[in-house]
């Protein structure tokens, strides 16, 4: 019996090896796959028949073609007509201003002699801000920025950023000389809204606590350069030097003492 069972098992294994695997899908699977493909085409979805090819097409890096200067200029004009230019593109640069100077006569050009700028309203007392205002007033713009860089006041960083922006606007937009820019005036004003909050005190009393807001204004003008200031200071000190000379002046003694000097 054992030999018969072994022979039957071996015969079954040979039969299973002889029967080939059915690689052709059935008719129901074919119709289902065709329906999925038609649905994907109608919905513009990727064809799942070859997912590797779809991944290669969708994830492959596409090389962006660089537009020509003519196309960029045409797109910029179209955006300007629609009013869709950004803030940075609407501000004229130095090169554009120099290019247009030839067409405008000299007597029609508008020349600027000063530039006014200010910070936004922020939470600080006008008395505290006035200390920084007095520190930068009358100084060259670079010296004022240097003072704010090494200042220990909390508002010095904000004022330094404001001075840098004001200097850039004065040089690029108003064609002022960068080497001669001076903080001619600097003043502080209170903000439009002074926040008031309820302040509870002792013994059943109460009051109002005011949170001050203020802002700093500067006026930049063209002044004397550092070399000119040093030359004037040197000349002033030289004028104060009085030499005794080689010959005594024949003039009476001024402010004589009441008695002998020995």
Domain ranges, residue 216:
113-232
What's the confidence (pLDDT) of residue 96? 47
Q: Could you tell me which of 217, 218, 215, 219 has the C-alpha nearest to residue 128?
A: 215
212 is a domain residue: yes
The answer to whether residue 196 sits within a structural domain is: yes
Instruction: With respect to residue 171, please indicate whether it lies within any of the assigned structural domains.
Output: yes
Q: Can you give the pLDDT at residue 111?
A: 87
> 201 pLDDT band (50/70/90 cuts)?
very high
pLDDT, position 33: 66
Phi, psi for residue 71 in degrees, rounded to 5? -65, -40
Task: Give the count of domains, the chain.
Answer: 1
What distance in Å separates the CA atoms of residue 152 and residue 50, rounded to the nearest whole number? 67
Distances (CA, A) of 125 to 159, 160, 194: 14, 18, 10
| Residue 183 is assigned to a structural domain of this protein | yes
- Of the segments 46-55, 185-194, 234-243, which one has the largest average pLDDT value? 185-194
Secondary structure letter of residue 106 according to DSSP: G
pTM above 0.75, yes or no: no
Q: If DSSP codes are grouped into helix, strand and coil, which group holds residue 44?
A: coil
Does 60 fall in a domain? no
Whether pLDDT at 235 is above 60: yes
Is the per-residue pLDDT at 202 higher than 90?
yes
pLDDT at residue 48 greater than cutoff 70: no
Q: Is residue 223 part of a domain?
A: yes
What pLDDT band is residue 207 in, cutting at 50, 70 and 90?
Answer: very high
Supply the DSSP string of 81-100, one letter for each residue: HHT---HHHHS--HHHHHHH
SS (H, E, C) 116-141: EEECCCEECCHHHHHHHHHHHCCCEH
More confident residue, 72 or 104: 72
132, 156 contact by CB (below 8 A): yes
Rg, the chain, Cα only: 43
Torsion of CA 169, 221, 239, 241, to 10 degrees: -50
What's the pLDDT score for residue 13? 55
Q: Is residue 26 part of a domain?
A: no
Q: Is 242 exposed, middle or buried (0-12, 13-18, 19+ CB in 10 A)?
A: exposed
Whether residue 121 is predicted with pLDDT greater than 80 in this model: the reply is yes
Q: Which is more confidently placed, 13 or 186?
A: 186
> Residue 145 maps to which CATH number?
3.90.470.10
């Amino acid at each position: 019996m054992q030999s018969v069972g072994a022979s039957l098992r071996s015969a079954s294994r040979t039969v299973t090896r002889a029967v080939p695997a059915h690689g052709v899908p059935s008719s129901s699977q074919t119709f289902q796959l065709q329906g999925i493909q038609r649905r994907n085409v109608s919905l513009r979805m990727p064809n799942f028949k070859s997912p590797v090819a779809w991944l290669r097409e969708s994830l492959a890096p596409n090389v962006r073609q660089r537009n020509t200067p003519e196309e960029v200029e045409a797109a910029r004009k179209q955006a300007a007509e629609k009013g869709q230019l950004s803030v940075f593109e609407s501000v004229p640069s130095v090169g554009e201003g120099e290019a247009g100077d030839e067409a405008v006569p000299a007597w029609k050009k508008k020349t600027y002699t000063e530039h006014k700028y200010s910070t936004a309203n922020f939470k600080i007392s006008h008395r505290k801000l006035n200390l920084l205002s007095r520190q930068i007033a009358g100084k060259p713009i670079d010296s004022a920025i240097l003072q704010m860089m090494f200042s220990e006041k909390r508002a010095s960083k904000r004022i330094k950023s404001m001075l840098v922006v004001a200097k850039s606007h004065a040089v690029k937009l108003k064609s002022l000389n960068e080497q001669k820019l001076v903080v001619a005036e600097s003043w502080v004003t209170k903000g439009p809204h002074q926040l008031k909050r309820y302040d509870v005190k002792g013994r059943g009393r109460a009051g109002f606590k005011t949170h001050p807001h203020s802002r700093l204004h500067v006026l930049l003008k063209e002044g004397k350069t550092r070399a000119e200031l040093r030359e004037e200071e040197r000349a002033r000190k030289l004028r104060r030097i009085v030499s005794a000379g080689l010959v005594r002046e024949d003039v009476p003694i001024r402010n004589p003492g009441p008695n002998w000097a020995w």
